[in-house]
Structure 1
Amino acid sequence: MTNNIIERIYRFNEGRNPKLLALKYKAMRSDVFTFYRGTCHLFYEDFPRDLPLNVAPSVWVCGDLHLENFGSYKGDNRLVYFDMNDFDEACFAPCTWDLVRFVTSTIIGSHALKVNESEALHLSNSFLDAYSNTLAKGIARSVENETALGLVKDLLKSLKTRLRQDFLDKHTKKKKGKRHLIIDNKHIIEATEAEQQRIRELISTWQKSTQKDANFYQILDVQQRIAGTGSLGLERYAVLVEGKGSPDGNYLLDLKLTKTGSLQPYLTLPQPDWSSESARVVAIQERVQGTPPALLAMIVDGNKSYVLRELQPEEDRVSLQAWDGKLERLNKLMQTMGEVTAWDQLRSGGRQGSAIADDLIKFAHLSDWRNQILEYAISYSKQVKLDYQEFCQKS
Structure 2
Amino acid sequence: MIDPVRAIRSFNAGRDPERLALKYRAMRQSRFAFLRGSCHLFHDRLPAAKLFTKAPTAWLCGDLHLENFGSYKGDNRLVYFDLNDFDEALLGSLTLDLVRALTSILVGADVLHAAQDEALDLGRRFLDAYTQAILDGNARWVERETAHGRVRQLLGALQDRARPAFLDTRTVRKGKRRLLRVDGQKALPASDEQREQVTALLAEFAAAQAHPEFYTVLDVARRIAGTGSLGVDRYVILVQGKGSPDANYLLDLKQALPSALAGHVATRQPKWASHAHRVVGVQQRMQAVSMAFLRPLKWKQESYVLRGLQPSEDRVALDRTQPSMAELEGVIRTMGRLTAWAQLRSSGRGGSATTDELQDFAAGRKWGKTLMAAAQDCARQCEQDWKAFAAAFDAGGFKG
- Say whether the 8 Å CA contact 1:103–1:374 is kept in structure 2: yes
Q: Is the CA contact 1:159–1:314 (under 8 Å) kept in the aligned structure 2?
A: no
Distance change (3 Å), C-alpha of 1:86 and 1:186: same
Unaligned runs of 5+ in 2: 394-400
Query: Retained in 2: the 8 A contact 1:138–1:357?
Result: yes
Identity of aligned residues (%): 46
Q: Does the residue aligned with 2:14 lie in a helix, a strand or coil?
A: coil
CA contact (8 A) 2:226 2:312 kept: no
Tell me the equivalent position of 2:109.
110
CA contact (8 A) 1:151 1:323 kept: no
Question: SS state of the match for residue 292, structure 2?
Answer: coil
**TM-score, normalised relative to structure 2:** 0.96
Q: Encode CA deviations 1:314-338: one digit per residue, 9 max, x unaligned.
A: 9710011477452111111111001
When residues 86 and 372 of structure 1 are mapped into structure 2, their CA distance, relative to the original with a 3 A threshold, is same
Which of 333, 341, 357 is residue 343 of structure 1 equivalent to? 341
Q: Secondary structure at the match of 1:113?
A: coil
Give distance in 2, aligned partners of 1:314 and 1:189. 16
Map of 2:26 onto structure 1: 27
Aligned-pair distance for 1:175? 1.2
User: Where do residues 87-98 of structure 1 align in structure 2 (5 Å cutoff)?
Assistant: 87-98=86-97
Matched residue, 1:178:
177
- The secondary structure found in structure 1 opposite 2:253 is strand
Partner of 1:267: 265
Please report how far the alpha carbon of residue 378 of structure 1 lies from its aligned counterpart in structure 2 after TM superposition: 0.6
Alignment check: 8 A CA contact 1:104 1:380 kept? yes
The verdict on how the C-alpha distance between 1:12 and 1:174 changes in structure 2, with shifts beyond 3 A counting, is same
1:336-360 residue CA offsets vs partner (Å, 9 max, x unmatched): 0011000000001111111111111
Q: CA offsets, 1:243-284, max 9 Å, x none? A: 001111100000001111111111200000111000000000
Change (3 A) 1:312 1:381: closer
Check whether the contact 2:206–2:213 (CA below 8 A) recurs between aligned residues. no
Contact 1:172 1:181 in 2 (8 A): yes
The answer as to whether partners of 1:242 and 1:250 remain within 8 angstroms in 2 is yes
- The total of aligned residue pairs comes to 393
How far residue 115 of structure 1 moved from its aligned partner, in angstroms, is 0.4
Q: Distance in 2 between matches of 1:197 and 1:87?
A: 27
Which residue is 2:120 aligned to?
121
Q: Which residue of 1 aligns with 2:278?
A: 280
Query: Residue type of the partner of 2:366?
Result: D
SS in 1 for 2:215: coil
User: 2:398 aligns to what?
Assistant: none
Matches within 5 A, 1:1-395: 2-208=1-207, 210-312=208-310, 316-321=314-319, 324=322, 326-395=324-393
Residues 225 and 312, structure 2, Cα contact 8 Å, conserved in 1:
no
Q: 1:326 to 1:59 in 2, by over 3 A?
A: same
Q: State the distance in 1 between where 2:71 and 2:8 align.
A: 31
In 2, Cα distance between the equivalents of 1:182 and 1:333?
33
Q: Is the 1:151–1:322 contact (alpha carbons within 8 Å) kept by the matching residues of 2?
A: no
SS at match of 1:365: helix
* Superposed displacement of residue 135, structure 1: 0.2
Quote the Cα distance in structure 1 between the aligned partners of 2:331 and 2:299. Answer: 40
Pick closer, same or farther for the CA change 1:313–1:121 going to 2, 3 Å.
closer
| Distance in 2 of aligned mates of 1:325 and 1:206 | 44
Deviation at 1:17, TM superposition (A): 1.1
Does 169-178 or 245-254 show the bigger shift? 169-178
Contact 1:56 1:96 in 2 (8 A): yes
CA contact (8 A) 1:57 1:355 kept: yes
Query: How far did residue 369 of structure 1 move?
Result: 1.2
Superposed CA offset, 1:219-249 (max 9, x none): 1001111111001111111100000011111
Q: Is the 8 A contact 2:186 2:223 kept in 1?
A: yes
Assess if the C-alpha contact under 8 Å between 1:80 and 1:314 holds in 2.
no
Match of 2:397 in 1: none
TM superposition score normalised by structure 1: 0.97
Q: In 2 relative to 1, CA 323–150 (structure 1 residues): closer, same or farther, beyond 3 Å?
A: farther
Counterparts of 1:304 and 1:216 in 2: how far apart (Å)? 24
CA–CA distance in structure 2, aligned partners of residues 160 and 60 of structure 1: 29
What's the RMSD between the two structures over aligned residues? Answer: 1.4
Letter in 1 for 2:85: D
Which SS does the other structure have where 2:111 is aligned? Answer: helix
After TM superposition, give the deviation of residue 211 of structure 1 in Å.
3.0
In 2, the alpha carbon distance for the partners of 1:48 and 1:366 equals 22
